[in-house]
Amino acid sequence: MSHAPPAIEEQFGIPRCRNCYYVLENLPEPRCPECGRPFDFNNPDTYTIKPPLVRWRLWMPGLMLAVGGGLALYLSIIPFAGFGWAATLVVPASAGAIIGYTCRVRLFLLIAVSLIGGAALLMGLITLKLVGVLCGLMLAGIALGPIVIGTLVGAGLRQALKNSRFDQRWHLPLIAFLLVPEAVATWEVATYRRKPPESVSTSLVLDAPADRAWDAIQFYEQVKHGPPPLFRLGMPRPLYSVGRAAAVGDLRTCVYDKGRLTKRITQVEPNRLLAFRVVEQGFERHAMTLYDGGFAFEPAGEGGAPRTRVTLTTTYRSHLSPRWCWRPFEEFTVHTLHGHILGGMAEDVRARSGERGESAVAAGGGARP
C-alpha cells in the first residue's frame, strides 16, 4: 500500500493529487484512484500539499490589492491630471505589476488574474462615474497591453528577488508600484501643453442633385433611424431640440440626457456649404472640446443622373493622451457619428425621391390624350 511519509504530513500537510486534489493516503498503488494520475512521494513535483479550498490565497489578496490600489490611483490622478499617460498606461501597468509580484500561480493563470483585475478596474471606474461606458471600453482596449506587460514585469521581479538577501523585498516594490503613477501624473501637470485642434471628415455620395442633398441636411438629433450599437453604450441620448439652423447667426440647441449642445451657424452658401461653431457643450468635456464643423457639397461623377458628394467635418481638441493611443478610437467614433448622420440624409433623399416619383405617376395617370 502507498502511505505518505510522516515528514510530509507533519511539515507541510496532506498530500493530494495535482490534478483532482484526491487525498493520496492508504492507496494500494502510487496512482490516483479518482483520475488515474501517477505520483511518487520521493518526487514533490508529482503531488501537491495545497488544499483545493485555500488555493485562492495564492492570488486573491494580490488581486484585491491591485484593484484597490488601482482605483485609489485613479481617484487621485484623474481629477489632478486627467486621462494622460499616468491614467491611460502607467496605472494599468502598475496594477498588473502588483498582480505579477504578489500572485503565486502559474503563468497562464497569472495572465487570467491580470485580465480579471483589468475588468474589475473598468467596472470600478464606471461605477464611480469617472468614465462612461464607451470611454471605459476604449480605455480597457488601450490598457490591455500595459496590464499584461506589467504582470510579466512584476512576476520577473519576484523571481529575481525571491532568493535574494534583500529584507525589504516584500513591501518596497509594492510601494514603488503605487508611487510611480503619482510621479508620472505630477510630471504631466508640470509639463502640460495644450494639444492642437484636430479635424475628422467623412464623405458620402448621394444619388441626388446638390439642391436636394442640401434640403436633406440634418443633425444627430434629427436622424430618424436608431443609433449604431456603438452609440448605445452610454453615449448621450438626445431628448429634444430648439432653434433654427438656416441663416448665419441662428442658434440650434439640442438637449441630451447628459447636458446641452448649442451650435451657431457661421456660414451659409446654399447647395455648397453650411458651417457652424459649438458655443455650448454640456457633456464629455473631460474627453474633448468641440469647436466647429460643417457640411460641404460638391458634384460627384460625370454624366448620368446627378450625384452629390457630401462631406461632414468635425473639429475638436482632445484632452486625452498619449495621442497615438487615443486618436484611432476617437477617429473611429467620430466617423461612426458622421456615418449615422450622412445615412440619415441618404434616407431623407430616398424618401423625397419616392414622394416625387409617386406624384409624377399620379399626375401622369390623370392625364388625358
The string of pLDDT tens digits covering residues 46-66 is: 888 876 655 677 788 899 999
Peptide bond into 33 cis (omega under 30): no
Among 190, 212, 235, residue at a domain's last position:
190
**CA 92 – CA 138 distance, rounded (Å):** 13
Domain count, the chain: 2
Domain that holds residue 100: 55-190
Whole-number pLDDT of residue 127? 92
Kindly state the average pLDDT of the residues 336-353: 91
Could you tell me which residues are beta bridge partners of residue 280?
262
Three-state secondary-structure class, residue 192: coil
Q: What is the C-alpha radius of gyration for the chain, rounded to an integer number of angstroms?
A: 31
Residue 248 DSSP SS3: coil
Residue-wise pLDDT for 297-323, tens only, equals 999 876 667 899 999 999 999 999 999
Which pLDDT belongs to residue 52?
61
Alpha helices by DSSP H, listed for the chain, are 6-11, 60-81, 85, 91-102, 107-127, 133-162, 172-190, 210-215, 323-366
Residue 295 has pLDDT above 90, yes or no: yes
pLDDT at 263: 95
Verify that 267 and 175 share a domain, yes or no.
no
The larger pLDDT score, comparing residue 340 to residue 354, is at 340
Closest CA to 115 of 175, 59, 197, 173: 59
pLDDT band with cut points at 50, 70 and 90 for residue 210 = very high
Domain stops at, among 130, 155, 190 = 190
Q: Which of 190, 222, 247 is the last residue of a domain?
A: 190
Average pLDDT in the chain: 86
- How far apart CA 82 and CA 88 sit, in angstroms, is 9
Q: 268 forms bridges with which residues in the sheet? A: 274
Co-location of 151 and 59 in the same domain: yes
- How many angstroms separate the CA atoms of 167 and 342, rounded? 65
Residue 250 lies in a domain: yes
For residues 147-171, average pLDDT: 85
Are residues 176 and 215 located together in one domain of the fold? no
The reply to whether 113 falls in a domain is yes
Residue carrying the nine cell digits 443622373:
305
The DSSP H or E segment spanning 295 is strand 288-299
Q: Which residue has the higher pLDDT, 230 or 5?
A: 230
Q: How far apart are CA 329 and CA 314, in angstroms?
A: 15
What pTM was estimated for this model as a whole? 0.77
Same domain, 278 and 184: no
Fill in the DSSP letter of residue 33: T
Q: 49 versus 75: which is more confidently predicted?
A: 75
Here the cell at position 193 is: 501643453
